Amino acid sequence: MLTIALMSAAALGVPIVALAIYGLIWRRHPPRRNNATVRLRGSVVGSGVVFERDAFGKLVTARRFAVDVGSGEPVRVDPGEAQLEARARPGRGADVRAGDRVAVDGLVADDHVEATRIVRAGWPRGGMLLGCLVIAGSTCAAIGVVKLRQSDGCPAGTTRTARRLPTVQEVRCVSADGVAQGPVEMRDYAGWLRQRGSYRDGLKHGRWITYHRREKVASIVQYRRGVKHGRWTRYSRSGKRTGVAEMRDGSGEWRGFHESGKLAERGHYARERKQGEWLFLRADGKKARRAHFDKGVLDGPSMRWHDSGALAERGSYKKGKRDGFWEHWRSDGTKKSAGTYRADKRHGDWTFFRRDGSKRRTGHFVRGVKHGRFRVLAKDGEPMIDGVYKNGNRVGLWTWWCKRCPACNMCEGDNKDKERVEKRYTP
């Protein structure tokens, strides 16, 4: 950046210095006399062409004109015998016009100077010169910036590289030691832009934009040294804002919204991960879930509600998995089941209920597999089926009480009138 600033300053400074020198050379000053000869500089006063010779040196126009020397009255000049020293200008030829800056050498007469030589300023008039030099300076500055950046948009000293990822192709600038620097883009294999940002010393820095399909903005977030720092905003495919947070070094309060604008979620981020209690709401404002997070992972008490507003489940998580005692309810508010989990799998005693609240089934699980005694119960609590599982398979003696369970498979046919039916299973 310092180099760019210096080059820009130089590009603008050179025209200014050149213009100053030009002004000093062609500045107006009173006639300088040396006996009968005189030299003066100034601007031609009058209108139109006052002196002109054709391509063969023949005098075409030579009429008296006045030169404003900047002090006193303009000096009258008779150019009849003078020679013009000036390069022809495009579309004008060798001539002197009103407004031109000239240097005149000649002899002093009574009330005028008889010119022997006229030197016209070789540069354009000051206003035109300033405009041209400013344009030239700006062009030089632009060239300097381009030189500092390669033609592919990467900073100096880096190389544009591309790598294929599972769903996108990433194009970024990499220094000689393999560190990402400068702009980066990610496009899917259909050509749509999916993400754009920049790196500094291999870390995300500055504004990063993520896109939905067809390059609709999905999120805008500010980074500083690789962590979110500043405003973080999310958008839906329709362009509605669906979340916002003011982050400081990766931490901040997050608020998510439904497309209607109503609150959808609320919680805290610490080091860019969910931390503490989070509340999730449905579009109608009813609670959907309340949960605790630790470093972005579910950990601690958790509750979830049905669309109707009735409690759906209650328990706790440990490192992202259900652990400990849990209860589940149906949408009508009746209890469905209760038991313990370990590492997100049923482990221990479980009880399952009918809608009327009576127990329907009891059993024991080990790491999600039936293992131990299981019973299917009638509404009065008496057993209908009783037996033991081992690693998910029936073992030992199993009993069916057909009077209480006429729909059981073992109570069909010849067994339908029996009090009970027994069958022994071998491992």
User: 267 near 276, Cβ under 8 Å?
Assistant: yes
- Measure the CA angle with vertex 303, ends 310 and 287; round to 5°: 55
User: 310 near 331, Cβ under 8 Å?
Assistant: yes
Tell me the pLDDT tens digit for each residue of 124-162.
555 555 665 667 666 666 655 555 444 467 999 999 999
Q: Residue 209 domain-assigned?
A: no
Other residues' Cβ atoms within 10 Å of the Cβ of residue 218? 18
Tell me the pLDDT tens digit for each residue of 86-115.
665 655 566 888 888 888 899 988 888 888
Amino acid at residue number 248: R
How many domains are contained in the chain? 2
* DSSP character at residue 293: E
Q: Are residues 36 and 112 in the same domain?
A: yes
Q: Are residues 6 and 72 in the same domain?
A: no
Instruction: Indicate which CATH number applies to the domain containing 49.
Output: 2.40.50.140
Q: Are residues 79 and 114 in the same domain?
A: yes
Global pTM? 0.63
Share of the chain above pLDDT 90, in %: 59
Other residues' Cβ atoms within 10 Å of the Cβ of residue 307? 11
Q: How far is CA 30 from the centre of its chain?
A: 64
Q: Residue 102 domain-assigned?
A: yes
Amino acid at residue number 339: G
Dmax over CA atoms of the chain, in Å, equals 154
pLDDT of residue 148: 47
Q: Residue 81 domain-assigned?
A: yes
Residue 93 structural domain: 29-122
For residues 203 and 39, which has the higher predicted lDDT (pLDDT)? 203
Q: Are residues 73 and 141 in the same domain?
A: no
d(CA 384, CA 376): 5
Q: Residue 8 domain-assigned?
A: yes
Q: Please state the rounded mean pLDDT for residues 14-31.
A: 70
User: 379 near 356, Cβ under 8 Å?
Assistant: yes
Q: Is the pLDDT of residue 217 over 80?
A: yes
